[in-house]
Amino acid sequence: MYFHPHENNNDITIEHYENKILTNLPDKDASVLCELVYESSVLEIIAGSGDTSLADSIYQIPTKLIPKIETYLSPDVKDALEQYPHHYYPVLAKYKLVATSLDFVSKTQSSFFGTAPSYYAIVVANVNDKENKGIYVINRGTDKGWDYWSDLKMGRGKLIPSAEIIPHMIAGINFTQEVLAKYQVRSIGFSGHSLGGSIAQIQSIRFFDYKKGLSLAPTKCFEPFGTKSEVDPSFGFRFKNKYYYSDINFWKGFRSQVCNVGIDWKCNSWQELSDRLIQKYQRNAKLIANNIKNFIRQGDIIAELSAQIGDSIKLTTNINNNYYNYIPQQTSGLIAVPQFLFELLRRLTIHKISWYRYNAYAENGDLIPNRIDKKNVKIFKFSASYKDIQSFREAFEDDN
């Protein structure tokens, strides 16, 4: 493994925040960190580096650690760090690793179906923020076996008119609460890709107006599995300043109605986390949604499955329709099965967070929709395989 030397005059400009407290993670930086969070083994090696930047922790690896890093770093990210240092190094130079979820969340499981042992996240802060007053929680997306179980549970929640707060979301909330208890945080934000983006949406609701002196920074999500149905049930309505919604838990529904008619039957104990999230969202829906930005590639099979919370920014691809509309329109009979699977695999290729390294960004880090980073694309085309180039053509519109 060889990382190029990095200096400010080596075609790389390192920008530093004027404000030492991180209060708004740029889109570009969010995409890089959402890609990096999948490298949990490497992040655990460099955890505890204090105020050392992520750039120095990764690019200035002590010689004795290089074999270990080479073993754990995924081939795609390893190649990306080597080929696109101008893309990664300036971003990683801004941040330090404050904590990982392994520091706080138990890896043991109390029951087979009720926990999320594969939940993983990191906390980052500005490298010059000595007291970690401004932080972002970066949630990992689907990566391990337990993550797929959570994906299935979320999918089930779309079929049944009931809120489904999966264990990964609970783990993400518990992790954040532990971090807030340890540090004197003044600003907190969330980000994630895929399942990680779903968790970030729910965290944004839970920690909206959480406590005095804590502000909520903008949430950045990439191809998230939308969570609006978790907090805005299909069967819900308002009546006399109260919000009523369906639930498959009959006993909980009965107790809530008993309390509703004025009988004090432990009326503060029947509500679960899902109920508290629904109530907070219904009271503050517009403010919460205005704080969340979702990037969604057209035709993405995950992000288009369910309604999103927040502003959804569509990125054009060479797939010009929604998967769930395409299947019934284009197939029938026995041919529907192979067509269904082929199209499924085709569209999964555009779901990767790594495609964001080829999007164009403004100087302030804002993603510029439907434009590409010509320098990165040129490097990609020079070294990519035929299969990778075909996948690239799916993920980006021909005009790019």
Domain-embedded: residue 92: yes
Average pLDDT for residues 209-221, to the nearest whole number? 95
Q: Which of 196-205, 228-237, 238-247 has the highest mean pLDDT?
A: 196-205
The model carries a pTM of 0.84
Domain assignment of residue 31, yes or no: yes
Does residue 139 contact residue 37 with C-beta atoms inside 8 Å?
yes
Condensed to tens digits (0 to 9), the pLDDT of residues 369-382 reads 999 999 999 999 99
Selection from 371, 373, 393, 357 nearest residue 92 by Cα: 357
The average pLDDT across 145-169 equals 60
- pLDDT confidence bin for 186, thresholds 50/70/90: very high
- Segment 91-107 shows an average pLDDT of 85
Collapse the DSSP code of 67 into the 3-class scheme (helix H, G, I; strand E, B; otherwise coil) and give the result.
helix
> Which one of 154-163, 340-349, 383-392 scores highest in mean pLDDT?
383-392
Distance between alpha carbon 224 and the CA centroid of its chain, in Å? 7
- Residues 194-209 pLDDT 10s: 999 999 999 999 999 9
Q: How many whole angstroms separate alpha carbon 180 and alpha carbon 303?
A: 30
367 sits in which H/E element: strand 367-372
Boundaries of domain holding 326: 27-395
The verdict on residue 245 lying in a domain is yes
Average pLDDT over residues 355-383: 95
Mean predicted confidence (pLDDT) in 190-196: 96
For the beta carbon of residue 307, count every other beta carbon within 10 angstroms. 13
pLDDT at 343 over 80: no
Is 210 part of any domain? yes
> In sequence order, which residues have a C-beta less than 8 Å from that of residue 60 and are 6 or more positions away?
none
* Predicted pLDDT of residue 397: 84
> What rounded mean pLDDT belongs to the chain?
79
Residue 340 domain flag? yes
- How many domains are there within the chain? 1
Task: Determine, yes or no, domain membership for 159.
Answer: yes
Which amino acid, residue 375? K
- Would you say residue 362 has pLDDT above 90? yes
Asked if residue 13 is part of any domain, the answer here is no
Q: Could you tell me which residue, 233 or 187, shows the higher pLDDT?
A: 187
Structural domain contains residue 5 = no
Please state, in angstroms and rounded to a whole number, the distance separating the CA atoms of residues 326 and 324. Answer: 6
- Per residue in 259-286, pLDDT (tens digit) is 444 444 455 544 577 788 888 998 999 9
Convert the pLDDT of each residue in 323-337 to its tens digit: 556 555 555 544 444
CA distance 139 to 37: 7
Distances (CA, A) of 221 to 29, 50, 139, 143, 192: 12, 27, 10, 17, 5
Q: What are the residues whose beta carbons fall under 8 Å from the beta carbon of 356, sequence distance 6 or more? A: 31, 34, 35, 222, 295, 367
**How confident is the model at residue 9, as a pLDDT?**
40
